């Protein structure tokens, strides 16, 4: 079940509480000869994604429509016919309303949206399949009140770069509220504005980049269901923009999340989809990252041949990266990133020597603070596995100092994992490093 953000948005617009809606639906039902006894708990279930039975969806439309002084359809409140076409088969206007409803619910910290679990299986695969396959959007122009200009699009592009840098420095917990607030105040009105096909494609592309950042921040905050929905939205916006490279970048984010969720076969399949569908539009940096993540997935599946094949492809693609020739979105593929991904894959295969060589190379390459924390964590783990406790303690201290001030659940997970390994070694040098990590973890997010 996916949260019904459209119903939540309409309820908020109408100024009706959960208990108030239940009471009005009961009253409207009595007028039709129905004996209904709904309470606020039923409305909470509807918002979580449960579909009311019988005529109740029509009653909800009637009650909220009277309150708002306009007719509402079942689609307007997120209760359209189950199994109806979605994705590219859905007009962009309908997608825009659903997307902006999610942004609004996130900004208001609705629990049924923020705490929603990630979907798995077919519901997780469908958005990727729809991105890769026809039909394409033949015309994304829209009539609206405000004409969208290139200045507006440049504003969105600058905002994406700003929030990406904020995420790298401060973490996703601190950045998410800001980027979601910007989506609501600036991006949503533009998507509902007036634009021709060419401008519209650029608008959808730039908004897709911003939505992807919101998803990254949600992922970094441990809101995995919300992150997944943002990634799916960004993929739909990429489809509308016609930019296959942007879509492949978004799928790389889904691959990374799949690895975290231990959906290794899904990670391999998603990466293959991105590499296949993007074709010549995929850049060397993105190809390198996708192949490196595939290597990690194959290693977790115990497929040594698949792992080594993907490592070679990742390294070949990395050698072709040229600064200044990559889009803004792939700026995260900095020198050393492939090394640390390869180190993790080799560690899973038990090749400690190869893993340490790559992890050391990654740490020795300049990176932003967030990336450096992950690289140092990997090196610490490998050093401990090789019995080099003194060196591991020193590496862990540097890692902890780099992580200070960042509000990131993923980094905290890294710190906890390193601390457990340090404590298990039972050495004086590692005990001091573990105590330092304890102090860092006591600072609440």
Domains of the chain with bracketed CATH: 5-84 (no CATH), 102-286+354-441 (1.25.40)
- pTM for the model stands at 0.85
The region of weakest confidence among 54-58, 78-82, 85-89, 393-397 is 85-89
Average pLDDT value for residue range 372-392:
95
Instruction: Say if residue 88's pLDDT is above 50.
Output: no
Select the highest-mean-pLDDT range: 156-160, 419-423, 441-445. 156-160
Residue 85 has a pLDDT of 41
Instruction: Say if residue 86's pLDDT is above 80.
Output: no
Q: Which tokens hold the place of 319?
A: 């050698």
Grouping H, G, I as helix, E, B as strand and the rest as coil, residue 50 is coil
Model confidence pLDDT, tens digit, residues 314-326: 999 999 999 889 9
Average pLDDT value for residue range 25-47:
92
Average pLDDT value for residue range 429-442:
91
Instruction: Say if residue 82's pLDDT is above 80.
Output: no
Model confidence pLDDT, tens digit, residues 194-204: 999 999 999 99
Say how far apart CA 379 and CA 385 lie, in whole Å. 10
Residue 14 has a pLDDT of 86
Average pLDDT value for residue range 49-70:
89
Grouping H, G, I as helix, E, B as strand and the rest as coil, residue 194 is strand
At 152, phi and psi to the nearest 5? -60, -45
Asked if 419 and 380 touch (Cβ cutoff 8 Å), the reply is: no
Say how far apart CA 105 and CA 99 lie, in whole Å. 10
Residue 91 has a pLDDT of 64
Helices and strands in the chain, H and E counts: 22, 0
Average pLDDT, the chain: 92
Model confidence pLDDT, tens digit, residues 229-275: 999 999 999 999 999 999 999 999 999 999 999 999 999 999 999 99
Average pLDDT value for residue range 94-103:
89
């Amino acid at each position: 079940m996916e949260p019904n953000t459209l119903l939540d948005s309409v309820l908020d617009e109408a100024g009706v509480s959960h208990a108030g809606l239940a009471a009005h639906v009961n009253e409207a039902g009595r007028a039709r000869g129905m004996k209904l006894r709904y309470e606020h708990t039923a409305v909470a279930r509807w918002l979580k994604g449960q579909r009311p039975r019988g005529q109740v969806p029509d009653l909800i439309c009637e009650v909220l429509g009277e309150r708002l002084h306009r007719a509402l359809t079942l689609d307007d409140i997120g209760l359209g016919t189950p199994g109806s076409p979605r994705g590219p088969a859905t007009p962009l206007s309908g997608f825009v309303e659903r997307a902006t409803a999610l942004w609004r619910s996130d900004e208001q910290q609705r629990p049924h949206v923020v705490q929603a679990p990630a979907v798995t299986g077919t519901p997780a695969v469908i958005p990727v399949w729809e991105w890769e396959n026809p039909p394409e959007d033949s015309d994304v122009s829209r009539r609206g009140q405000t004409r969208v200009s290139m200045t507006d699009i440049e504003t969105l592009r600058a905002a994406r770069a700003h929030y990406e840098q904020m995420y790298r420095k401060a973490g996703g917990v601190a950045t998410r509220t800001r980027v979601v607030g910007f989506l609501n105040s600036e991006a949503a009105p533009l998507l509902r504005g007036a634009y021709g096909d060419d401008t519209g494609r650029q608008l959808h592309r730039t908004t897709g980049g911003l939505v992807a950042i919101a998803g990254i921040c949600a992922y970094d905050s441990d809101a995995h269901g919300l992150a997944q929905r943002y990634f799916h939205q960004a993929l739909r916006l990429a489809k509308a923009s016609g930019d296959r490279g942007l879509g492949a970048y978004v799928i790389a984010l889904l691959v990374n999340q799949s690895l975290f969720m231990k959906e290794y076969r899904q990670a391999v399949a998603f990466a293959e989809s991105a590499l296949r569908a993007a074709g010549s539009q995929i850049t060397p940096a993105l190809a390198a990252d996708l192949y490196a993540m595939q290597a990690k997935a194959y290693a977790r599946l115990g497929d040594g041949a698949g792992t080594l094949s993907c490592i070679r492809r990742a390294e070949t693609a990395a050698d072709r990266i040229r600064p200044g020739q990559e889009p803004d979105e792939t700026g995260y593929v900095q020198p050393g990133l492939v090394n640390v991904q390869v180190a993790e894959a080799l560690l899973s295969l038990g090749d400690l020597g190869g893993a340490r060589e790559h992890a050391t190379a990654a740490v020795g390459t300049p990176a932003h603070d967030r990336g450096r924390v992950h690289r140092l964590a990997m090196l610490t783990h490998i050093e401990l596995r090789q019995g080099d406790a003194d060196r591991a303690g020193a590496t862990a201290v540097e890692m902890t100092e780099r992580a200070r001030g960042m509000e990131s659940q993923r980094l905290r997970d890294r710190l906890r994992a390193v601390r457990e390994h340090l404590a298990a070694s039972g050495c004086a040098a590692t005990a001091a490093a573990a105590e330092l990590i304890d102090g860092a973890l006591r600072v609440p997010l």
